[in-house]
Amino acid sequence: MRVVQAYRFALDLTPSQERASLMSAGAGRLAHNEMLARVKAVMDQRAAEHTYGVPDEALTPAQGWSLAALRRTWNQIKGDVAPWWAECSKEAFNTGLDSLARGLKNWTDSRTGKRGGRKVGFPRFKSRHRSTPTVRFTTGAIRFAPDRKHVVLPRLGRLKLHESARKLARRIEAGTARILSATVCRRGGRWFVSFTVDLESPDRTPLRPRSVIGVDVGITHLAVLSAGEPVPNPRHLDRAQQRLRALGRALARKQGPDRRIGRAPSKRWQRYRGRMGAAHARVANLRRDGLHKLTTRLARVYGTVVVEDLNVAGMLGHRRLARHIADAGFGELRRQLDYKVVWNGGRLVVADRWYPSSKTCSACGAVKAKLPLAERIYRCASCGLVLDRDVNAARNLAALAANESHTAGSGPVAGRGAIRKTPNMGQEAVKRQPGATTVGQTGTVLPQGMTAA
């Protein structure tokens, strides 16, 4: 199976290499801003000419928004805009042009309805104070040194890796992997290089290919599995709040930048700003590490994984729970399961956003009209079931796999077209289909031949 996978390594750059990397990132930012200004100027000019009644054939020629069109225009003006362009790799300028082309396309598709989700705004100008320094290489010499601890990139030269890249280097030497691109970026005060690799991955099979697991995410526990196992929520952001508050107070006492009077930030302000960024980066790394370990375990063990289609953006509007929801990383957990389950030969089933998994009794199928968030124990008035609310929801999610096919890969969203209004008490939420069997005392409906986790 051919897959596209990313490998990321930390870099140990010398001061001269860091300046060269920042220069390359600045070149891409300059190309992005210059071409964005040209696109906006042409759009405004054509709009003004329309108001004057100028015919379409006499309007100012439109500026193409594709990467090829932006690159052609940039090659014509780069001598005047950036006389030093020969000092940087062409890939540095192409990085900024590619981001602009993607932004314009996303904005157009969002306006015309080709792109779903939240509305995408028009691209903005990039600031060297707020944007992440990054440069992407797709051509030229991209290779590892024989010691496997250095990487050679165009113009930047030989860069030292913080750890050995022997695993990726062995695959490249064996011919089972091919580097598509290399991206150098700075995050949290550290430099990283990420390789996008096209590699041949062996076909895998989960350890329990016929088992089904339902995953109910939450705040009290990061996830509760239908097998009854709660995954604790580490709450990395909460644990780091004391240090973040102290750094924020210290940063506020330093002399920061002021563009109104042209005041530059002090050295101490820059130092504490770096410490603040490193603290936030540590929280993000800890969160990412925990989510990767959880999703990898689920994808490698279970043949079918069932999750909910949560409206995370809407949930972040809750003023009391927004920070805890963002700290849990619901969206990242779902994103990682999307590709890891496929890589391991399993199947991912996504429950509909309006499926009442928490309100439905996992034993008899009765649905409650209301279930307050503070009520953590589910008590069924029909069959007398008393069960933890999250475990009950996870078992209902696992039961949804009975209505899906058994082909490998990411499954369709289950329960599309469901009624958004919660049914009355006693209505069954999970219909028992012919040929299905009831496993255990929980009433979980699974197809014949499949076992509950």
216 is catalytic: yes
308 is catalytic: yes
332 is catalytic: no
Alpha carbons 363 and 445: distance in angstroms, whole number: 10
Q: State the catalytic residue, choosing from 308, 309, 332, 338.
A: 308
> What is the three-state SS of the chain?
CEEEEEEEEEEECCHHHHHHHHHHHHHHHHHHHHHHHHHHHHHHHHHHHHHCCCCHHHCCCCCCCCHHHHHHHHHHHHHHHCCCHHHCCHHHHHHHHHHHHHHHHHHHHHHHCCCCCCCCCCCCCCCCCCCCCEEEECCCCCEECCCCCEEEECCCEEEEECCCCHHHHHHHHHCCEEEEEEEEEEECCEEEEEEEEEEECCCCCCCEEEEEEEEEECCCEEEEECCCCEEECCCHHHHCHHHHHHHHHHHHCCCCCECCCCECCCHHHHHHHHHHHHHHHHHHHHHHHHHHHHHHHHHHHEEEEEEECCCHHHHCCCCCCHHHHHHHCHHHHHHHHHHHHHHCCCEEEEECCCCCCCCECCCCCCECCCCCCCCCEEECCCCCCEEEHHHHHHHHHHHHHHHCCCCCEEEEEECCCCCCCCCCCCCCCCCCCCCEEEECCCCEEEECCCEEC
Question: Closest Cα to residue 37, out of 123, 135, 108?
Answer: 123
Is residue 442 within 8 Å of 396, Cβ to Cβ?
Answer: no
Question: Own/partner pairs for 369-372, CB < 8 Å, 24+ apart?
Answer: 369/422, 369/424, 369/425, 370/422
Which tokens sit at 310? 């949560």
Q: State the catalytic residue, choosing from 216, 229, 332, 352.
A: 216
- Which amino acids are annotated catalytic? 216, 308, 390
